[in-house]
Chains A and B, each alone.
Chain A
Amino acid sequence: MKIVKKVVLTRIRDTRITKIEMHAPLIAVKAKAGQFVVLMVEEKGERIPLTVVDTDKDRGTITLIFQELGLTTKLLGKLNAGDTLYALVGPMGHSTEIKNYGKVILIGGGVGIAEIYPVAKAFKDAGNHIITIIGARTKGLLILEDELKTISDELHVVTDDGSYGKKGFTTDILKDIVRGSTSSGGRTSNNVLVYAVGPIPMMKRVSSITKDFNIKTLVSLNALMVDASGMCGCCRVSINNEVKFSCVDGPEFDAHSVDWEELEKRNKIYEEKEKHICKLSTK
């Protein structure tokens, strides 16, 4: 549970994305692409889920990447190499089903880029043609470009403000690709998988684009969790009108079956309280 290395990946004013390498030899052996861990920074802290971005079995470490948004990620961001977490458990959730689809299009928005990285790597190892689309608000917030470049057959970069790569959204690129209007465009559907992680509006948009083309699409959902072992039902989502728990049934689901509106609303349940506690902590 000790942090062995910490790198601040990006920092623009109050937005900061940090990478930490944690000593967790057992998790390092077991965690597979798509799985996550739950951690507590301190005894009075919250339990929060974070995707396992990388593992190093030899060093016995796992890599986590997080953007400082709420109090817990801010507290986590204050820790340094040598510091120890109060709790760390995992790997939780199902891992991504890795196989050779032919072509896999991965879309990462914001800190979601960190979450597509291990999945992209695993799909690459399985022999897929990898197209990666990553996007951020602005150049300074873009992460893992180099890492993804080395494992992607094609990498597209966009920023909302046009400060780097193409101006626009990841979904603009996706639309172009699935329409077959770019060089790598294929017609559709059986030999393609789309995998998206990012803000809910992005995943929702991805889903609606690929639904029209009938392309299988997986998303990793960021529902709120407490125990993350199926005990509380906080993370329940409606998948094809059926209740599923993101923590034990997911975190990946078929994008076309997700009730996005419900997820969006449920994820805001504690927005007020989060603002309140963040304000208190900066005083």
Chain B
Amino acid sequence: MKTPIKPKELNVSSRISGFDEVVSCYTEKEALAEAERCLQCKNPACIAGCPVEIDIKKFIFQITRKDYRGAYFTIREKNNFPSICGRVCPAEYQCRKACVLTKKGSPFASEKAINIHFLERFIGDWGMKDIVRDVRGSTSGGGRTSNISGGGRTSNNVSKKVAVVGSGPAGLCCAGELARHGIKVVIFETLHAPGGVLRYGIPPFRLQRDVLDFEIDYLKKMGVEIVTNFIVGKIKSLDELFAEGFSAVFLGLGAGAPSFMGIPGENQCNIYSANEFLTRVNLMGAYKFPEYHTPVNIGKKTVVIGGGNTAMDAARVALRLQKLNKMKPDVNVFYRRTENEMPARRPEIGHAKEEGVNFRFLVQPVEFTGDKQGYVEKIKCLQCKLGEPDSSGRRRPVPIKGSEFEEPCDMAIIAVGLRANRILTSVTPSLKVDKWDDITVNSGTMETSIKRVYAGGDIVGGEGTVIEAMGMAKKASKAIIEKLA
């Protein structure tokens, strides 16, 4: 068996002096070599590991035949955003984990598993350059465009209009699917720029902004209208959207509200939610302050609390800010379990370590203390040990009595998860939610308790991944298309 091909990565010192993308795209040679490693299993397990069931076996085979165009359409048949998913999909928990080359019973993919995500990205980026250029060049919108859009246009759909609320992964995916079928889509976004978590959350070094802009632009070319600065629930109710002629509504609201730990001192200055910290930097450009006007503070000793992708993103952004401001990098991730239980993507944990982020495992913060001006100075924690597995199957952290210790910390970023944003659900009483305020749906159609209102992404079932959100959005779009037919 040949060794897996790793794409080139930016060296650590250039990485942390800016926000450039860390992982490069495979070269053609690399992609071909990696594709050749695929066993082309008779009964491929990888496909079932993909939330949108991309025909992985087929597109990898097409790569080996240098049929990149074919591979592109194989992916796009199931996934509108190969360039995005190839970058941010936690493949080691999904398709790659299902790959036969992963050792049985392993919690995530073995190194030997085919690098499906890198191949997907190669094809997505290839498509951005070589296929879509054709579409962009064509003003008529016919010909090749209909090839891209799947040729699903049906005349009786043209008069139908669907509102998509939220422009994150779920909303974008749903809009793309509907547009492919000739349905007029209007996306409503509260913020001034579309993309949702792809823009405010995921930093540019993991997802280059031109890739995101390209995909959004592409939707617009397919006829999707995007209205920013529009907060559904405040400026228009769902009833009003229907009254204005929308035949259905898809809610991709996201899990927009940050959780805090509820420990003493948590509201002191320089304690950020990861959402605030990342939004200031990624969406508002605070790393270019004062050219961009939104400020963000930078700690000399920063503690990030949490073990998910958001924690990794926050830690790596914090480190870059220190470096950009000529400070000695000192960012410390505190997590209450061990590395094995961290929900973050394995490569991102690896990147964070390479870049100099320190990790403290089995620690649980119990208090922040600060100075007279209200700025955080210290974090108090308890040491933990691992106990019995909890409902998630991961071993539960158990604080050890009397193990309290203190660490200096002049900035803290809380990345312990998100809750549902209630702006729309709170003004729409007939929209059923569960005890976490997530929207309740029919799992077959993603239809909510209100007829012709569908939902998907993190607002259904809590925090998930980009591709899971897209999976739900696809299911919803299918149901919407059937309903409107």
A residues neighboring B (CB under 8 Å)? 1, 26-27, 30, 40, 44-47, 71-72, 86-92, 226-227, 229-234, 236-238, 243, 245, 248, 261-262, 265-266, 268-270, 273-274, 276-277, 280
Docked complex: B266-306 residues within 8 A CB-CB of A:
266-270, 272-273, 275-276, 279-280, 284-285, 288-295, 297
**Distance (Å) between the CB of A241 and the closest chain B CB?**
10
New A-B pairs, 5, CB < 8 Å, besides A229-B423, A273-B290: A44-B285, A44-B291, A229-B191, A233-B276, A248-B421
Residues of A within 8 Å of B200, CB to CB, are 227, 231
Say whether, besides A44-B291, A230-B256, A233-B260, A269 and B269 are in contact (CB < 8 Å).
yes
Nearest 4 CB-CB pairings of A with B = A265-B374, A232-B276, A87-B192, A273-B295
CB of A89 within 8 A of CB of B280, answer no
What are 16 A-to-B residue pairs whose CB atoms are below 8 Å? A1-B229, A26-B236, A47-B294, A87-B229, A88-B229, A89-B192, A89-B229, A90-B231, A227-B200, A229-B256, A233-B273, A234-B272, A261-B374, A265-B373, A268-B374, A277-B290
**Distance (Å) between the CB of A158 and the closest chain B CB?**
30
Expressed in whole angstroms, the Cα–Cα distance for A174 and B284 within the complex equals 42
- For B420, give the chain A residue with the smallest CB separation: A230
Residues of B within 8 Å of A230, CB to CB, are 256-257, 421-423
B42 contacts A by Cβ under 8 Å: no
Partner of B267, one of A27, A30, A229, A243: A243
CB of A26 within 8 A of CB of B235, answer yes
Expressed in whole angstroms, the Cα–Cα distance for A274 and B294 within the complex equals 9
Residues of B within 8 Å of A273, CB to CB, are 289-290, 295, 297
**Distance (Å) between the CB of A91 and the closest chain B CB?**
6
Interface size class of B (residues with CB under 8 A): 35 or more
Residue of A26, A40, A44, A266 most packed against chain B (CB within 10 A): A44
Partner of A277, one of B260, B293, B423: B293
- For B229, give the chain A residue with the smallest CB separation: A89
CB of B192 within 8 A of CB of A40, answer yes
Classify the secondary structure of A's interface with B. Answer: mixed
CB of A91 within 8 A of CB of B258, answer no
Say whether, besides A226-B279, A232-B275, A30 and B235 are in contact (CB < 8 Å).
yes
- For A249, give the chain B residue with the smallest CB separation: B422
Say whether, besides A46-B284, A243-B260, A273-B295, A231 and B269 are in contact (CB < 8 Å).
no
Say whether, besides A243-B267, A270-B295, A277-B293, A227 and B235 are in contact (CB < 8 Å).
no
B190 contacts A by Cβ under 8 Å: yes
Residues of B within 8 Å of A26, CB to CB, are 235-236
**Distance (Å) between the CB of B260 and the closest chain A CB?**
6
CB of B422 within 8 A of CB of A86, answer no
**Distance (Å) between the CB of A234 and the closest chain B CB?**
5
Say whether, besides A229-B421, A232-B279, A44 and B293 are in contact (CB < 8 Å).
yes
- For B370, give the chain A residue with the smallest CB separation: A265
Docked complex: B163-213 residues within 8 A CB-CB of A:
190-192, 200
CB of A231 within 8 A of CB of B421, answer yes
B326 contacts A by Cβ under 8 Å: no
Expressed in whole angstroms, the Cα–Cα distance for A47 and B286 within the complex equals 12
Residue interface mask B317-329, A partner, CB < 8 A = 1? 0000000000000
Partner of A233, one of B191, B275, B289: B275
B228 contacts A by Cβ under 8 Å: yes
Say whether, besides A232-B275, A233-B260, A266-B269, A277 and B228 are in contact (CB < 8 Å).
no
Residues of B within 8 Å of A270, CB to CB, are 295, 297
Expressed in whole angstroms, the Cα–Cα distance for A125 and B300 within the complex equals 54
Residues of B within 8 Å of A88, CB to CB, are 229
Residues of A within 8 Å of B258, CB to CB, are 231-233
B230 contacts A by Cβ under 8 Å: yes
Residues of B within 8 Å of A27, CB to CB, are 235
